[in-house]
Amino acid sequence: MKGEQYLIDQIKPQESWRVFRIMAEFVDGIEQLTPLEPAVTIFGSARTKPGEKFYVMAETLGRLLAEEGFTVITGGGPGIMEAANKGAFEAGGQSVGLNIVLPFEQKLNPYTTIHINFRYFFVRKVMFVKYAMSYVIFPGGFGTMDELFEALTLIQTDKLKPFPVILVGSDYWAGLLEWINETMLGANMISPEDRTIFTLVDSPKDALEIIKNSKV
């Protein structure tokens, strides 16, 4: 029992200090990102390679957004994130990378003008949504789906002011959208109007026009 109590006594201070580390990440993010609005957050797979279709499209969109005066925010890693940052960076725009410290896969790309490293996913996710006037979702895996459905949920439940959530690549998203439209809606798990929260496009220019029109 004494040994167990000793372990509990050692853990409690560490848990308390974690609150301050979390607060520090919030403060750092808010201080660095507040001056950068309007911003567009771009998500997508870290596994997409340079030269691949969606890499090129994300790079093009990053450039177009920067040329229109938008800040581009990504997760700061490789793949789609790198492509969008690269496009914005090479166009002379603000290119932000909100990097998450992971044991594998994630490494900060070299195309950021501002980068912040996070230990906590939930703090990073707040920064993504707090400073975005639009989400652009390229094909990706579990992390991309997590960001997509969190945004849809926040808008659906009126916890977040509606903004464009744009899916790029109709072929990739076709199966998911069919399941949403037929299975989810058919089982009355969502309302018909919930399907209007997101928009599907197949080109960077179409995504840009939606973003620009939403700013007006």
Closest CA to 164 of 192, 121, 122, 206: 206
SS3 180: helix
pLDDT digits (tens, 9 = 90+) for 129-170: 899 999 999 999 999 999 999 999 999 999 999 999 999 999
> What is the number of structural domains in the chain?
1
Tokens standing for 179?
């399941």
pLDDT digits (tens, 9 = 90+) for 91-140: 999 999 998 877 665 688 999 999 998 988 889 999 998 999 999 999 99
pLDDT of residue 6: 45
Closest CA to 172 of 48, 81, 82, 50: 48
Q: What is the span of the domain harbouring residue 116? A: 2-215
CATH code assigned at 80: 3.40.50.450
Orientation of helix 142-156 relative to helix 121-130, angle to 10° = 50
Tokens standing for 123?
């703090």
pLDDT of residue 8: 47
What is the three-state SS of 73-140?
A: EECCCCCHHHHHHHHHHHCCCCEEEEEECCCCCCCCCCCCCEEEEECCHHHHHHHHHHCEEEEEECCC
pLDDT digits (tens, 9 = 90+) for 34-58: 888 799 999 999 999 999 999 999 9
